């Protein structure tokens, strides 16, 4: 268990789709919209708490909270308003807020800065690997190279419109 300052139990899940270089985005958008991955994301996060940075929130369709989930937006922008979301301004506020929820229901959904800053609080990672390389300007740390996690489940390789991808579940060693 990791501590968040003096607060215990701050573990969260992480969910992301990466290309072969662990790229996750370009120009404020996903690298590729894949119907099967979108369904997987929705099914995995539905009824749960999703945590995101401001830029990720602003990239959502219509800049609106995702329905059927508790949406938390973390931003340094003062007086930021995100309709339908809980807006927090600091790591401390986030850690206090997530204490109100079951850790299995907490999902970090992006973006790159959030993944980088909070990866050490993530015990379970849901990673969609896209077997393609795209031009990216945002990346996720390559978990396969950094270690610390074991693959505990993976789907068969899925092909959709000529594109191959696969779902992985990693858990902290």
Instruction: Map 27-66 to HEC letters.
Output: CCEECCCCHHHHHHHHHHHCCCEEEEEHHHHHHCHHHCCC
Model confidence at 28: pLDDT above 60: yes
Tens digit of each residue's pLDDT (9 = 90 or more) over 151-165: 999 999 999 999 999
Q: Could you tell me the pTM of the whole model?
A: 0.93
DSSP assignments along 53-114, one per residue: EHHHHHHSGGG-PPTTSEEEEE-SSTT---TTEEEE-SHHHHHHHHTTS-GGGEEEEE-HHH
Tens digit of each residue's pLDDT (9 = 90 or more) over 116-130: 999 999 999 999 999
Distance CA 46, CA 48 (A): 5
Average pLDDT over residues 3-24: 79
DSSP assignments along 115-156, one per residue: HHHHGGGEEEEEEEEESS----SEE---HHHH-SEEEEEEPP
Tens digit of each residue's pLDDT (9 = 90 or more) over 61-104: 999 999 999 999 999 999 999 999 999 999 999 999 999 999 89
- 144 dihedral zone (left: phi>0; alpha: psi -120 to 50; beta): alpha
Tens digit of each residue's pLDDT (9 = 90 or more) over 92-107: 999 999 999 998 999 9
pLDDT at 4: 52
Give me the domains of the chain, ranges plus CATH numbers: 3-172 (3.40.430.10)
Average predicted confidence (pLDDT) for the chain: 93
* Model confidence band, residue 8 (pLDDT cutoffs 50, 70, 90): very low
Task: Give the CA diameter of the chain.
Answer: 49
How far is the CA of 80 from the CAs of 61, 88, 89, 92, 110, in angstroms?
18, 9, 9, 17, 18
């Amino acid at each position: 268990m990791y501590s968040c300052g003096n607060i215990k139990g701050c573990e969260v899940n992480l969910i992301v789709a990466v290309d072969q270089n662990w790229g996750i985005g370009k120009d404020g958008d996903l690298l590729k919209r894949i119907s099967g991955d979108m369904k997987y994301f929705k099914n995995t996060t539905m009824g749960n708490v999703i945590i995101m940075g401001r830029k990720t929130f602003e990239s959502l369709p219509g800049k609106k909270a995702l329905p059927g989930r508790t949406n938390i937006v973390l931003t340094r922008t003062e007086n930021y308003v995100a309709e339908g979301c809980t807006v927090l301004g600091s790591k401390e506020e986030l850690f206090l807020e997530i204490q109100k929820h079951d850790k299995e229901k907490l999902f970090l959904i992006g973006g790159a800065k959030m993944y980088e800053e909070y990866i050490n609080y993530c015990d379970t990672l849901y990673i969609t690997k896209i077997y393609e390389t795209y031009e990216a300007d945002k990346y996720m740390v390559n978990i396969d190279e950094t270690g610390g996690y074991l693959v505990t489940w993976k789907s068969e390789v899925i092909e959709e419109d000529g594109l191959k991808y696969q779902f992985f579940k990693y858990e902290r060693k």
